[in-house]
Chain A
């Protein structure tokens, strides 16, 4: 080895040091542009994976058409129903280095950001665009905080849906999907004797998703809403009864070998191993698309037992952070989010209904058409989802998550109710 080792090392170091300036040059273009040129907009979301990003891509394309001078910086980070994105976001917001806009579930999920002064009051945008007339009143009410509006909802998903395979019900001799949870329990006993799992379940959040719809079905809309704003007592007899029923229902699920994710849980319904599954309407996109099934024949859906005529909603929305580097561009993005074209580009791809009431109905077929009609009907009662950030702020929901994980293992109703009540009081 005659070549000089020192030479090699020196060369390596030189190469390394050379790379450094090259890396930093572009970086310094981004920072410091506070009132900067509105030539780009950095938007944060967790819609990065296939099955989620098509909707966003469609809306971005429409945005690009209308705003050709603005470069769209799609900073989507997937993972953990947003935990990765939220971590990056929280860190940046605290360091006062926000993106131009970020995705958040409409409702109380935004509460802590509002409290910390991270998001701008965009009621002026609503007034400008006349959105207060274009979004349903129930929705506006749910996302108004202290009379002000802080986010623009793009879509509406429905949580309280019971999915099933008509063929499986037929084979088991069941004529119709259950209208109450008691009816479900009766059917479940029959199904069990035929070796069919009555209800398939997935990971933790799906169990919370089931819980909220059991509570909704058993307690009705007013008491359900009261659970989250302190007016319903968690330790009252009816809530206790509802929670006990929940444990009974769990007994008829495949909790012991719970599916790894919500799709495999639905797969069990598709192949007949399980009869029912409670899931939001993103299941429609999966069953129609990935599973290539036909609505009504290959799969069907009704409102979860006890919630006929109720829309348990969740909504994805975008915000305007305080100190956004490109505020003008960000506002244009929000306008796009709230526009008919934007929502009609986004929602058919995402498998949700638009928040706006004046959307183009022809773009929504099969299940989505039925959902849209129900969403826009004035007789539909609207309540917010727990599992998806509408009715509980992050702290409260976080504590419920933990308490629920313990609850499904030990079935201790009193302890769970107590934990939730305490969590509410501590995190109001």
Chain B
């Protein structure tokens, strides 16, 4: 009986893996076909000849965007995570009167639909002279990332025992010292969750990217859209670009993945 259940379990897992990887298979196979044999009807067939031609074609278009997206996503996620850590720490362990009000106020920012605030945001950024380069875009991503990173760290730090904080206070540590020497050292799993989330969000954003930057600073999503969103979509190129554009986020997941689970289990995204 046990054995049946066990095989059943592995079978179920295998089928699920197929479901999750099937689109990737199609993506990969199409990207590796030579341009002439790409067609939606034959999407499941293996390529008759393996060809990296599609990647070669799209890379020049994606190159600049790649660099821009990296210059955007790395600072944005790092700064965002730091600020979230600070907020999360204060809101859970160094509270002030009204902290329980401040948190929901901050958290609610996570739920606004971005299309709704495009116009006032652009006007605000423009009057602050932050339109055109990547600095404005980074700032916007940091600001709109505050709610989720604050949530992550607050939930995480809630698990930190109060006694440790008290001990630090007794030792004469102020808020900043407690933050840097007590809270941060144990925060890497939460950082992993925050960094993964923010990096992915910044890397995959199209709307703010196309709006706030001038052409030379366009992130990779704009290039991807230009290849895949036009009137006549060359699907071989679209698939190849989609693959290339997804590599960095996949890399971040692979590198930080096990911290991600650890962070989640320590309660980083609960409540």
Contacts and interface: CB of A to CB of B under 8 A. Distances in A.
In the complex they form, whether A and B have CB atoms below 8 Å apart is answered with: yes
A294 interface: no
Interface in A256-309: 261, 263-264, 282, 286, 290
Given A48-B226, A77-B226, A97-B131, A23 B231 contact: no
B230 A23 contact: no
A138 B145 CA distance: 54
Contacts of B226: 48-49, 76-79
B133 A26 contact: yes
B75 A16 contact: yes
A95 B122 contact: yes
Contacts of A23: 71, 133-135, 138, 217
Contacts of A30: 132, 214
A5 B214 contact: no
Given A20-B135, A73-B215, A84-B210, A91 B122 contact: yes
A52 B234 CA distance: 12
A204 interface: no
A94 B230 CA distance: 25
Interface residues of B, number: 42
Given A16-B74, A16-B75, A94-B119, A31 B132 contact: yes
B225 interface: yes
B232 A50 contact: yes
Interface in B36-73: 40, 71
Given A16-B74, A20-B135, A77-B210, A5 B185 contact: yes
A48 B118 CA distance: 23
A51 B184 contact: no
B168 interface: no
Given A5-B184, A49-B230, A73-B215, A27 B133 contact: yes
A6 interface: yes
A148 interface: no
Interface centre among B40, B180, B214, B226 (most CB of A within 10 A): B226
Nearest to A30: B132
A88 B211 contact: yes
Contacts of A25: 133
Given A6-B180, A26-B216, A30-B214, A49 B135 contact: no
Interface string A45-56: 010111110000
Interface string B207-245: 000110011110000100111011111100100000000
Contacts of A46: 230
A78 B234 contact: no
A426 interface: no
A91 B71 contact: no
Interface centre among A48, A49, A91 (most CB of B within 10 A): A49
A290 B231 contact: no
A236 interface: no
Chain B contact residues, majority secondary structure: helix
B232 A51 contact: yes
Given A5-B185, A27-B135, A88-B210, A49 B71 contact: no
Nearest to A44: B215
Contacts of B268: none
A339 B227 CA distance: 29
A74 interface: yes
A16 B78 contact: yes
Given A24-B134, A97-B126, A263-B232, A42 B215 contact: yes
B27 interface: no
B82 interface: yes
Contacts of A19: 71, 74-75
A286 B232 contact: yes
Contacts of A290: 232
Contacts of A76: 226
A272 to B, nearest CB: 15
Contact of B215 (A6, A74, A87): A74
A78 B123 contact: no
Nearest to B68: A23
B79 interface: yes
A290 B181 CA distance: 64
B230 A50 contact: yes
A51 B82 contact: no
Interface in A150-194: none
12 contacts: A6-B181, A9-B82, A23-B133, A23-B138, A30-B214, A75-B215, A79-B225, A79-B226, A91-B119, A94-B119, A94-B123, A282-B231
For the complex of A and B, 10 pairs with smallest distance between CB atoms: A49-B230, A27-B133, A51-B232, A23-B134, A79-B229, A48-B226, A16-B75, A24-B135, A78-B230, A27-B132
Given A27-B136, A79-B226, 14 more contacts: A9-B184, A13-B78, A16-B79, A20-B75, A23-B134, A23-B135, A24-B135, A31-B132, A49-B230, A79-B225, A81-B231, A87-B211, A91-B122, A91-B211
